[in-house]
Amino acid sequence: MDEQIVKQYEALEKQILGYNPGIDVQRLRDAFTFAYGSHDGQKRKSGEPYIIHPIAVAQIVAELELDPDSIIAALLHDVIEDTPATYEDVAKRFGESVAILVEGVTKLTRMQYVTKEEEQMENLRKMLMAMSRDIRVILIKICDRLHNMRTMEYQSPQKQREKSRETMEIYAPIAHRLGMQRIKWELEDTSLRYLDPIGYQEINQELKKRSAAHEAFMESVQEKITARMAEEKVECKVYGRVKHVYSIYRKMYTQNKTLDEIFDLYAFRVIVSDVPTCYNVLGCIHDMFNPVLGRFKDYISTPKPNGYQSLHTTVIGREGIPFEVQIRTQEMHNTAEYGIAAHWKYKQGMGNQKLGTEETFEWVRKLLESQQDTDPDEFISTL
């Protein structure tokens, strides 16, 4: 076995043990060995051994802290599609539930991509419902796509555009619907890189040019907030970041603005322990900086359809630079970052609620339905 690959696998194992010390390590190793053997001799477009890809996908699945079957299915997600291994082989070795997951991912991989915009979301919704009685299938598929997008540079220009378009139109919206903001952003940014390379590079370079100034600004705001919170004896974590490329891109093009004219390039997060503290912190922020009229949103009392909760406000500091502040509890934060995956983790912790049961499926179905009328295709309308 290739030493590099064994190392990558061991990193995965360590990562999982970090959140699930009770995992059956032998079963995990068997899955790795089986995947390794099945993909033996296959290479990725980069020239690397193929097995690197399923391990990387399993690592992303592990970041979502999903259950052992999901990790094993991620390791095996391409064996039915790309190797002689069959559903029965997988079921015999790793159980029916893993085989069902792998088969589900395989079906999504074979999914016919349609380009007629209006039909797309509807088709997609139907397919997702029909094919994935189990939402973990979609989560693994999203992780698969994310790793493919991360390594898209080795593909032909045509394939790059095709996959990027599909990602922007299907996978990013699903990630959004499932509330997985972090993955959604990365999918959008990596797609934009190929869909509008010039636009993407321009923003990236402009951001790079200003990064020293940005960092100084963010640090000063962060320090001010942290100092005030200490004064108020509020325990919290404060983070600052520049918004992601695609969200800047969209603003520049829809509002016809230059980077300098974009209203809120910066977003800060204050994470606190409970809901009343969120409102206290909001009061402090409005006391420290000038709030911009009409920019306050209370997604705590009225959550977004995908479950997102937070207080949002835009304020202007002494430097005259506007920035957004998002205030939320740790639990709301986990939901914001990992969406449905966080919801599951919570459920798992609450009792022995089984993942992928009809009840969870029902929850997802409602989630998808409640949003079917919203943002049909932002990207297309942007262009």
Residues near Mn ion, by CB under 5 A: 78, 144
In the bound complex, what is the minimum distance in angstroms from residue 127's beta carbon to Mn ion?
Answer: 18
Task: Name the residue nearer to Mn ion (CB basis): 31 or 218.
Answer: 31
In the bound complex, what is the minimum distance in angstroms from residue 5's beta carbon to Mn ion?
Answer: 16
CA 205 to chain centre: 24
Q: What angle do CA 140, 23, 151 make, to 5 degrees?
A: 30
Q: Are strands 266-272 and 297-298 parallel, antiparallel or unpaired?
A: unpaired
Q: Are strands 290-291 and 237-242 parallel, antiparallel or unpaired?
A: unpaired
In the bound complex, what is the minimum distance in angstroms from residue 145's beta carbon to Mn ion?
Answer: 8
Q: Are 326 and 294 in contact (CB under 8 A)?
A: no
Please give the Cα distance from 355 to 176 (Å, whole number).
21
Residue 81 annotated to the active site: yes
Residue 369 annotated to the active site: no
Task: Name the residue nearer to Mn ion (CB basis): 48 or 298.
Answer: 48
In the bound complex, what is the minimum distance in angstroms from residue 252's beta carbon to Mn ion?
Answer: 33
Please give the Cα distance from 351 to 345 (Å, whole number).
10
Tell me phi and psi for residue 67, to 5 degrees.
-75, 165
Render 41-102 in DSSP notation, one character per residue.
T-B-TTSSBTTHHHHHHHHHHHHTT--HHHHHHHHTTTHHHHSS--HHHHHHHH-HHHHHHH
Task: Name the residue nearer to Mn ion (CB basis): 108 or 121.
Answer: 108
Task: Name the residue nearer to Mn ion (CB basis): 65 or 144.
Answer: 144
Of 7, 304, 348, 88, the closest CA to residue 179 belongs to 304
Closest chain position to Mn ion (CB): 144
Task: Name the residue nearer to Mn ion (CB basis): 120 or 148.
Answer: 148
> How do the residues of the chain divide into helix, strand and coil, expressed in percent and rounded to 5?
65, 10, 25
In the bound complex, what is the minimum distance in angstroms from residue 77's beta carbon to Mn ion?
Answer: 6
Catalytic residue among 48, 82, 162, 196: 82
Catalytic residue among 30, 63, 81, 331: 81
Annotated active-site positions, please?
A: 81-82
